[in-house]
Amino acid sequence: MKNESLRNGIVKLPKDTLIPAAVIFCVDADENVLTISRPDDSTKLGLVGGKVEKDETPVQAATREFNEETGATVHEKDLTLLYEGDDDNGYWVTCFQVPFEKIEGVPVTTEKGIVSWVSLNRLCQKDGPFAAYNVATTKAYIRRLEQKQEQEASRPRGGHTENPMRTAYRVGDSKLHR
């Protein structure tokens, strides 16, 4: 097939043959990411989200899934595209980022999976079913942080104070290092 590529011995399928899914990447003030566990294994974590239903856009699906799975509310207008790609499990994942401050309510466990805040390092462990997109979205998040840092560094300094929340990250093959 023309659209197939080989990466790490895995045949990649064309996007239009994959199941569309949408997730939300949200980082709190302590640089922890909001996750939800698999219903059958609380140690296997992924970002909050799920399948895109028929006649639904990815942003609508991400918002709906977040609201259902956490009991908290996010709005479409507050989401920005962070990453899109194949998750190596038959899904085409669209990941949106939402600022922590834009969440209305407190995220809690409302469905079968357990909702929790975890470190970027924990999110990127390779032992889970969502490892490929967890790492890919974290890399996209780090690139976005680095771009913001570069933009801020190129601005005139007049009265600018250093943001204590900015931390440089480096992604390795299997671990995220600080």
Higher per-residue pLDDT: 172 or 115: 115
Higher per-residue pLDDT: 64 or 160: 64
Asked whether residue 149 is assigned to any structural domain, the reply reads no
Cα gap 141→147, rounded to integer Å = 10
Reported confidence tier of residue 159, pLDDT bands at 50, 70, 90? low
Single pTM value for the model: 0.74
Cα gap 78→104, rounded to integer Å = 11
Asked whether residue 28 is assigned to any structural domain, the reply reads yes
In the block, tokens 């994942």 appear at 93
Residue 24 confidence (pLDDT): 95
| CATH number of the CATH domain containing 75 | 3.90.79.10
Number of separate domains in the chain: 1
Asked whether residue 106 is assigned to any structural domain, the reply reads yes
In the block, tokens 């009991």 appear at 71
Higher per-residue pLDDT: 28 or 175: 28
24 backbone dihedrals φ, ψ, rounded to 5°: -120, 130
Residue 6 confidence (pLDDT): 37
Asked whether residue 27 is assigned to any structural domain, the reply reads yes
Asked whether residue 167 is assigned to any structural domain, the reply reads no
Asked whether residue 48 is assigned to any structural domain, the reply reads yes
Q: Give residues with Cβ within 8 angstroms of 124, minimum separation 6.
A: 131, 134, 135, 138, 171, 174, 175, 176
Q: Give residues with Cβ within 8 angstroms of 142, minimum separation 6.
A: 169, 171
Residue 125 confidence (pLDDT): 80
Range of the domain at 113: 5-119
With beta carbons less than 8 A apart as the criterion, state whether 72 and 66 touch: yes
Residue 45 confidence (pLDDT): 87
In the block, tokens 């994959």 appear at 18
Residue 88 confidence (pLDDT): 75
Q: Tens digits of per-residue pLDDT, 33-88?
A: 999 988 888 888 889 999 999 999 999 999 999 999 999 999 999 999 999 988 77
Asked whether residue 128 is assigned to any structural domain, the reply reads no
Asked whether residue 43 is assigned to any structural domain, the reply reads yes
Q: Tens digits of per-residue pLDDT, 100-155?
A: 999 999 998 887 889 999 998 888 887 667 778 888 888 899 998 898 888 888 88
Residue 91 confidence (pLDDT): 85
